[in-house]
C-alpha cells in the first residue's frame, strides 16, 4: 500500500471496495491473518539490537580485564602455563556470568516493551476487538476515541466531532477538524487531507472510525522513520550515582594495587608475580559490577511488579516509587469498583427506588415500597428515554453455548456492558423500564453527538423525528445541567424553572450524594424548526430539566486495605474526582481517606486560590471534588513545592500534563488513553488503587535489595583489598596468590550476590516512613557497616594467614601454601557467612529464617562446594597452589569466617529470650 496513494480523493465505497472490506463487519479474522503475512507487522523498523555474541564479547572490553588478559598471556609465554590457563578460565567464567545477567536484564526489558506496546480497537467478524497495533492490516476498520494515538494511516469512515492533532507529522499543533467526504483535489497536501488520519497523530476530541490504508514502514510516519516510543531505557538516578562512585573506587583500588605491587617488587618478589597480583587484586576488588547489579535488581523488581499488575514504563520510577509521600488518585474505577447500579431516581418531585443487582436488566421501580402507578411513571419514562438516547454503551450477554442450551441453564449467562460504566448503568436502568435505544433510534435517529468530557461534565445528542422535529437530549453533572436549564417538566407539563425548583433539586442531589451515590441530571430541548448550528454553545441552553438518577459505585475492598497500608507507610492518599463534593467525601470516609481534620475543596474554590495559597493549604486537603483535569496540574505543582514526592493517576487526554509533571505519573491500563499512557511512568493493568500501593512496596523492596548488594559487595571487596594491602605493609609474603584472588571474586561475587537480589521485602517495609530521594545510598549507617565488616574480614583473614604461617606446623605441603590455603578459605567463608547478614538491615537472619530465600542457600552451598573442589581435587590443587586442610585448620578458618554469625545466633537463641524474661519479670513485679 503506497503512502502517496490518493485515498483522500476516493469516496468510501471506492475505498472499501479497493481494500475488500465490509463497512459493517470489518475484515474476517482469517483474511486479517492472511494480510498480516502478506504485508508484515504494522511496525516501524527498530534500531538493530546488540546481538548476544557482541554482548558476550563486550564483557571483555573492560580495561582492567584487558590488562589482566595481556599479563596472563605474558606469564604464559614465560612458562607459567597452568596459571595462565586457569586465569583465562576464570575470566571467561566471570564474563559468562556477566553476560547471563546482562542478557536476562535485556530480555525482561524487551518483555516489558511488549507489555506497553500500543493497542487498537478494530472491527473484525462484526465485533469490536482490542488487538496489538502491530497486528493491524490494510483493510481493517479501526474505532477511534478521544486520547487514542492513531496506529496506522486511515481513510476516515466516521467522524463525530473528530479532531486530530497532527503536529508530529505536519508541525501544526492546533487540532484539525476531520470529516469523511471525499476531497476533490487529489494533489492536496498532508495537512489538508481532512478525511485522513495518520499514524502517530492523536485524537484530541470526538469519536470516529477509519479504514486502514497503509501500515508499518508504508505509512507517512514510516516514510520519515520517526521513533515512536522509547521505553525503560533511561538510567536511574541511583545508577548514575553508582557509576560515579564506581569511578572513584576504581582510582582508589588502582592506587592501593600499585602500592601492593611496588612494595612487593621492592621487597624482592618477582616483578611478574607482583604485576599479576596487583592486576588480579584490581580485577577482584574494583566493583565494576555495581551499576550492572542495580540494573539486575531493577529488572527483577520490574518483573515482580508486572506480576502485581503494575507495568513500569520508565525505570527511574521504580526508585522514585519508594520515596512517594503522596498518592493522588482518581475516584471512579480506581478507588471504587466502577460497577455502577442506579439505585434512586428523582422525577416530578418524588424519589423512586430502583431494585435489582449487577448488570442483569431485572428490577422494579418503587415509590415508598409500592410499584408505580401509570401516572407516576410519566416523568420517569421521559428520563429513561433521555438516558437511553444520550448513551453510547451497550448491554451484552454471554452467547448461549450448546451445553447450556441442552442442560437448560439459559439463565446463568453473565451480563456485561461495553463502553463507559456510567452509561452502562443507565442502559441497565432503561432496560429495567422496558426502553431500548435501538427502538427509540428507529423513530428518532441521532443526527449528532456533543461528546462527554471531564471539563464540560455533560454530554448531548441531537435526534430528529420523521416530521423534521429535532430534539437535544442532555445528561451530566446536576449543578452543571441545572445552570443550563430554564424550564422543568412536572407531571407532564413544562413550567419555568424557579429558584424554589432549583433548591428542591439541589437538596435531593445532596441527599443522594450523602448516601455516596454518584448523581447525573437529565434534560432536553426541543430545537426550533430548521435549527442547523449543532454546536455546544447553541444547543446546550434553555433546557427543560427532567430529573436525577443516583448510582452506587462501591469502594474496592482492596483499596480500603491499601489506603490503610499507605497510611502506615507514611504516605498520604488524596482523592481527586470530577464527582460531587458530598459524594466524594462520603466515599472518602468509607475508604479511610478522611478520618479527622482533613478537608475537602471543590474546583470552584481552587479557581479562587492563587498558587501560593494552594501550596500553603495543600497539606491539609484530602479530597478535591468537581475538579477538571487542569486543576490536577496545579495540585501536583503545589505538592511538589511543599517537597512532596507525588504519584498521580490519570486516564483522559487532559490528564496527560499532570501525569507527566508528577514524580510518578500513573496511567490506567484499561480506561486510560494512549496519550496518558505515553506520558506516564507506570501503567496499572487493573486500574486498581491497591496496585499503586503494591508497586510502592516493591519499589521500596528493590531499593533495599540494591543496598543489600552494595553492602555485601563493598564490604567483601574492602576485606580483600585490606588483606593484601596490610600483608604487604607488614612485609609478609603475599597472603593470596593472584589466581586465588580471582577465584574469591568469582565464588563470592557471583551466585550469592545475584541471589541477594531475589531476597523478599523486609516485614516492616511498609511500616517505615518514605525515603528521601536525595538520601545517599550509604545513609542510615550503611557506610559504617561496610567499613567495619570490611575491616573485620581483612583483619581476620590476615590473622588466620599469620597463624598458618607461624603457629601451625606444616603438614604435607610447605608452610606458605598452608597459610595461603587457610587465608583463602577464611576469606571465602567470611563472605559466605556475611551474605546471610546482608539479607536485611533491620532483621537478623535468625528472625527471618535461613531458608526464607532458598536461592541464597543454594548459591552459598554451590560456592562452598566449589571452594572445596579447588582444595581437594588434586589437579586443581596444583593449579590453585592449595593444600588439603586438617580439622584444626578448618576450625580456625570457619571460626574466623563465621564467628559473628555464631554470636548473633547465641544472642538470638539465648541472651535475647533471657533478657525478655527479665524485662517481663520486672514489669510483672513492679505491678
Residues assigned a catalytic role: 330
Instruction: Please provide residue 162's backbone torsions phi and psi, each rounded to the nearest 5 degrees.
Output: -75, 125
Q: Which stretch binds ligand ATP (CB under 6 A): 120-128, 350-358, 471-479, 823-831?
A: 471-479
Q: Which stretch binds ligand ATP (CB under 6 A): 204-212, 417-425, 524-532, 608-616?
A: 417-425
Q: How far is the CB of 355 from ligand ATP (least distance, A)?
A: 23
C-alpha cell at 251: 582510582
Tell whether residue 35 is a contact of ligand ATP (CB under 6 A). no
Q: What angle do CA 848, 854, 860 make, to 5 degrees?
A: 100
Q: How far is the CB of 421 from ligand ATP (least distance, A)?
A: 9
- Given the DSSP bridges, would you call strands 202-214 and 141-145 parallel, antiparallel or unpaired? antiparallel
C-alpha cell at 689: 488503587
Q: How far is the CB of 477 from ligand ATP (least distance, A)?
A: 3
Best CA proximity match to 204, nearest among 181, 172, 231: 172
Pick between residue 314 and residue 626 the one whose CB is nearest to ligand ATP.
Answer: 626
CA gap 317, 160 in Å, rounded: 37
Instruction: Please provide residue 122's backbone torsions phi and psi, each rounded to the nearest 5 degrees.
Output: -115, 160
What track of x and - describes contact with ligand ATP for positions 494 through 533 (by CB under 6 A)? ------------------------x-x-------------
CA gap 718, 720 in Å, rounded: 5
When binding is defined by CB under 6 A, the residue of 422, 430, 797, 840 that contacts ligand ATP is 422
SS3 content of the chain, % helix, strand, coil (to 5): 55, 20, 30
Pick between residue 477 and residue 883 the one whose CB is nearest to ligand ATP.
Answer: 477
Q: How many CA atoms lie within 13 A of 357 on its CB side?
A: 1
Q: Which stretch binds ligand ATP (CB under 6 A): 157-165, 239-247, 325-333, 587-595?
A: 325-333
Q: How far is the CB of 458 from ligand ATP (least distance, A)?
A: 5
Region 634-663 residues binding ligand ATP, contact defined as CB under 6 A? none
Best CA proximity match to 460, nearest among 448, 447, 473: 473
When binding is defined by CB under 6 A, the residue of 90, 305, 386, 459 that contacts ligand ATP is 459
Q: Which stretch binds ligand ATP (CB under 6 A): 185-193, 433-441, 449-457, 854-862?
A: 449-457
Q: What is the DSSP string of 693-717?
A: HHHHHHHHHHHHHHHHHHHHHHHHH
Q: How far is the CB of 848 from ligand ATP (least distance, A)?
A: 40
Region 571-600 residues binding ligand ATP, contact defined as CB under 6 A? 577-579
CA gap 322, 847 in Å, rounded: 24
CA gap 478, 551 in Å, rounded: 13
Decide: 207 and 162 in contact? Cβ < 8 Å.
yes
Pick between residue 216 and residue 578 the one whose CB is nearest to ligand ATP.
Answer: 578
Tell whether residue 454 is a contact of ligand ATP (CB under 6 A). yes
> Which run of H or E residues covers position 512?
helix 499-514
CA torsion sign for 634, 639, 645, 646 is: negative
CA gap 59, 55 in Å, rounded: 7
Neighbours of 59 (CB within 10 A): 18
> C-alpha distances in angstroms, 757 versus 12, 302, 754, 785, 856?
58, 12, 5, 19, 9
Tell whether residue 552 is a contact of ligand ATP (CB under 6 A). no
Tell whether residue 124 is a contact of ligand ATP (CB under 6 A). no
Cell 584472588 belongs to 741
Pick between residue 148 and residue 330 the one whose CB is nearest to ligand ATP.
Answer: 330
* Total residues in contact with ligand ATP, by rule CB under 6 A: 19
Tell whether residue 277 is a contact of ligand ATP (CB under 6 A). no
CA gap 2, 331 in Å, rounded: 46
Best CA proximity match to 680, nearest among 306, 150, 314: 314
Tell whether residue 631 is a contact of ligand ATP (CB under 6 A). no
Q: Which stretch binds ligand ATP (CB under 6 A): 68-76, 226-234, 324-332, 756-764?
A: 324-332
Best CA proximity match to 673, nearest among 143, 148, 265: 148
Question: What dihedral do alpha carbons 6, 12, 14, 20 form, nearest 10°?
Answer: 100
Q: How far is the CB of 517 from ligand ATP (least distance, A)?
A: 11
Tell whether residue 444 is a contact of ligand ATP (CB under 6 A). no
Q: How far is the CB of 161 from ligand ATP (least distance, A)?
A: 15
Pick between residue 86 and residue 577 the one whose CB is nearest to ligand ATP.
Answer: 577
Q: How far is the CB of 422 from ligand ATP (least distance, A)?
A: 4
When binding is defined by CB under 6 A, the residue of 194, 458, 771, 789 that contacts ligand ATP is 458
Q: How far is the CB of 314 from ligand ATP (least distance, A)?
A: 23
Tell whether residue 423 is a contact of ligand ATP (CB under 6 A). yes
Region 245-264 residues binding ligand ATP, contact defined as CB under 6 A? none
Pick between residue 458 and residue 525 the one whose CB is nearest to ligand ATP.
Answer: 458
When binding is defined by CB under 6 A, the residue of 195, 273, 277, 332 that contacts ligand ATP is 332
SS3 string, 215-273, reads CHHHCHHHHHCCCCCCCCCCCCHHHHHHHHHHHHHHHHHHHHHHHHHHHHHHCCCCHHH
Pick between residue 649 and residue 840 the one whose CB is nearest to ligand ATP.
Answer: 649
CA gap 165, 201 in Å, rounded: 6
Q: How far is the CB of 533 from ligand ATP (least distance, A)?
A: 22
When binding is defined by CB under 6 A, the residue of 477, 552, 645, 664 that contacts ligand ATP is 477
Q: How far is the CB of 34 from ligand ATP (least distance, A)?
A: 39
CA gap 311, 115 in Å, rounded: 8
What letter does residue 448 receive in the DSSP assignment? E
Cell 590476615 belongs to 798
When binding is defined by CB under 6 A, the residue of 35, 475, 631, 632 that contacts ligand ATP is 475
Neighbours of 767 (CB within 10 A): 11
Q: Which stretch binds ligand ATP (CB under 6 A): 470-478, 608-616, 766-774, 797-805?
A: 470-478
Neighbours of 670 (CB within 10 A): 14
Q: Which residue ranges make up the site for ligand ATP (CB under 6 A)? A: 330-332, 420, 422-423, 452, 454, 457-459, 475-477, 518, 520, 577-579
Amino acid at each position: 500500500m503506497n503512502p502517496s496513494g490518493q485515498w483522500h480523493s476516493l469516496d468510501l465505497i471506492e475505498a472499501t471496495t479497493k481494500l475488500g472490506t465490509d463497512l459493517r463487519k470489518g475484515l474476517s479474522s482469517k483474511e486479517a491473518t492472511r494480510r498480516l503475512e502478506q504485508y508484515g507487522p504494522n511496525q516501524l523498523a527498530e534500531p538493530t539490537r546488540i546481538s548476544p555474541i557482541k554482548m558476550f564479547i563486550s564483557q571483555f572490553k573492560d580495561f582492567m580485564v584487558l590488562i589482566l588478559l595481556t599479563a596472563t598471556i605474558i606469564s604464559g609465554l614465560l612458562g607459567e602455563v597452568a596459571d595462565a590457563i586457569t586465569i583465562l578460565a576464570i575470566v571467561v567464567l566471570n564474563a559468562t556470568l556477566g553476560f547471563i545477567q546482562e542478557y536476562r536484564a535485556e530480555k525482561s526489558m524487551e518483555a516489558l516493551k511488549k507489555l506497553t506496546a500500543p493497542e487498537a480497537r478494530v472491527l473484525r467478524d462484526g465485533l469490536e476487538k482490542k488487538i496489538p497495533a502491530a497486528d493491524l492490516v490494510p483493510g481493517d476498520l479501526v474505532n477511534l476515541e478521544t486520547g487514542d494515538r492513531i496506529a496506522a494511516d486511515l481513510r476516515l469512515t466516521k467522524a463525530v466531532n473528530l479532531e486530530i492533532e497532527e503536529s508530529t507529522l505536519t508541525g501544526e499543533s492546533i487540532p484539525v477538524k476531520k470529516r469523511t467526504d471525499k476531497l476533490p483535489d487529489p494533489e492536496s497536501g498532508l495537512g489538508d487531507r481532512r478525511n485522513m488520519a495518520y499514524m502517530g497523530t492523536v485524537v484530541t476530541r470526538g469519536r470516529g472510525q477509519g479504514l486502514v490504508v497503509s501500515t508499518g514502514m508504508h505509512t507517512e510516519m514510516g516514510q520519515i522513520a520517526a521513533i515512536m516510543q522509547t521505553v525503560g531505557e533511561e538510567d536511574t538516578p541511583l545508577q548514575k550515582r553508582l557509576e560515579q562512585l564506581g569511578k572513584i573506587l576504581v582510582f582508589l583500588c588502582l592506587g592501593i594495587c600499585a602500592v601492593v605491587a611496588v612494595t612487593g617488587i621492592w621487597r624482592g618478589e618477582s616483578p611478574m608475580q607482583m604485576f599479576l597480583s596487583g592486576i588480579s587484586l584490581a580485577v577482584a576488588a574494583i566493583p565494576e559490577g555495581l551499576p550492572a547489579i542495580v540494573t539486575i535488581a531493577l529488572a527483577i523488581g520490574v518483573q515482580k511488579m508486572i506480576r502485581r499488575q503494575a507495568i513500569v514504563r520508565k525505570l527511574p520510577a521504580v526508585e522514585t516509587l519508594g520515596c512517594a509521600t503522596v498518592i493522588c488518585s482518581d475516584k471512579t474505577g480506581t478507588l471504587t469498583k466502577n460497577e455502577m447500579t442506579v439505585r434512586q431516581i428523582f422525577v416530578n418531585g418524588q424519589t423512586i427506588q430502583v431494585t435489582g443487582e449487577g448488570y442483569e436488566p431485572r428490577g422494579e421501580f418503587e415509590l415508598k415500597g409500592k410499584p408505580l402507578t401509570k401516572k407516576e411513571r410519566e416523568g420517569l419514562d421521559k428520563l429513561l428515554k433521555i438516558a437511553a438516547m444520550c448513551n453510547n454503551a451497550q448491554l451484552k450477554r454471554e452467547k448461549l453455548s450448546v451445553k447450556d442450551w441442552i442442560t437448560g441453564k439459559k439463565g446463568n449467562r453473565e451480563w456485561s456492558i461495553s463502553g463507559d460504566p456510567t452509561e452502562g448503568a443507565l442502559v441497565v436502568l432503561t432496560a429495567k423500564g422496558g426502553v431500548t435505544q435501538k427502538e427509540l433510534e428507529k423513530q428518532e435517529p441521532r443526527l449528532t453527538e456533543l461528546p462527554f468530557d471531564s471539563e464540560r461534565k455533560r454530554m448531548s445528542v441531537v435526534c430528529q423525528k420523521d416530521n423534521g422535529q429535532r430534539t437535544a437530549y442532555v445528561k451530566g453533572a446536576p449543578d452543571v445541567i441545572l445552570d443550563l436549564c430554564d424550564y422543568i417538566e412536572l407531571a407532564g407539563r413544562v413550567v419555568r424553572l424557579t429558584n424554589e425548583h432549583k433548591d428542591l433539586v439541589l437538596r435531593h442531589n445532596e441527599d443522594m450524594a450523602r448516601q455516596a451515590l454518584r448523581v447525573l441530571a437529565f434534560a432536553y430541548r426541543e430545537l426550533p424548526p430548521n435549527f442547523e448550528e449543532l454546536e455546544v454553545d447553541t444547543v446546550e441552553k434553555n433546557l427543560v430539566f427532567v430529573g436525577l438518577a443516583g448510582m452506587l459505585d462501591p469502594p474496592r475492598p482492596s483499596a480500603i486495605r491499601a489506603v490503610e497500608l499507605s497510611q502506615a507507610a507514611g504516605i498520604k492518599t488524596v482523592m481527586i474526582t470530577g464527582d460531587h463534593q458530598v459524594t466524594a467525601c462520603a466515599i472518602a470516609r468509607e475508604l479511610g481517606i478522611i478520618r479527622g481534620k482533613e478537608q475537602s475543596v471543590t474546583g470552584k474554590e481552587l479557581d479562587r486560590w492563587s498558587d501560593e495559597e494552594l501550596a500553603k493549604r495543600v497539606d491539609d486537603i484530602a479530597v478535591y471534588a468537581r475538579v477538571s483535569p487542569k486543576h490536577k496540574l496545579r495540585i501536583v505543582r503545589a505538592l511538589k513545592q511543599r517537597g512532596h514526592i507525588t504519584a498521580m493517576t490519570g486516564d483522559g487526554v487532559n490528564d496527560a500534563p499532570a501525569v507527566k509533571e508528577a514524580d510518578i505519573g500513573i496511567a490506567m491500563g484499561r480506561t486510560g488513553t494512549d496519550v496518558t499512557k505515553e506520558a506516564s511512568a507506570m501503567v496499572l493493568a487493573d486500574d486498581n488503587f491497591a496496585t499503586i500501593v503494591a508497586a510502592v512496596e516493591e519499589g521500596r523492596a528493590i531499593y533495599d535489595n540494591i543496598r543489600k548488594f552494595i553492602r555485601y559487595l563493598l564490604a567483601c571487596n574492602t576485606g580483600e583489598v585490606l588483606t593484601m594491602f596490610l600483608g604487604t605493609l607488614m612485609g609478609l609474603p603475599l597472603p593470596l596468590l593472584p589466581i586465588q584472588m580471582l577465584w574469591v571474586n568469582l565464588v563470592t561475587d557471583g551466585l550469592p550476590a545475584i541471589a541477594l537480589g531475589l531476597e523478599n521485602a523486609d516485614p516492616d517495609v511498609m511500616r517505615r516512613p518514605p525515603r528521601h530521594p536525595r538520601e545517599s545510598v550509604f545513609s542510615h549507617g550503611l557506610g559504617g557497616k561496610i567499613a567495619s565488616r570490611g575491616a573485620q574480614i581483612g583483619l581476620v583473614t590476615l590473622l588466620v594467614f599469620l597463624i598458618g604461617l607461624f603457629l601451625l606446623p606444616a603438614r604435607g605441603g610447605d608452610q606458605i601454601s598452608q597459610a595461603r590455603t587457610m587465608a583463602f578459605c577464611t576469606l571465602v567463608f567470611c563472605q559466605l557467612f556475611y551474605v546471610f547478614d546482608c539479607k536485611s538491615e533491620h532483621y537478623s537472619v535468625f528472625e527471618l529464617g535461613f531458608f526464607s530465600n532458598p536461592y541464597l542457600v543454594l548459591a552459598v552451598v554451590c560456592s562452598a562446594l566449589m571452594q572445596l573442589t579447588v582444595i581437594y581435587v588434586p589437579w586443581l590443587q596444583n593449579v590453585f597452589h592449595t593444600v588439603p586442610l586438617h580439622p584444626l585448620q578448618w576450625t580456625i578458618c570457619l571460626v574466623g569466617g563465621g564467628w559473628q554469625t555464631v554470636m548473633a545466633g547465641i544472642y538470638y537463641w539465648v541472651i535475647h529470650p533471657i533478657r525478655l524474661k527479665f524485662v517481663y519479670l520486672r514489669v510483672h513485679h513492679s505491678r
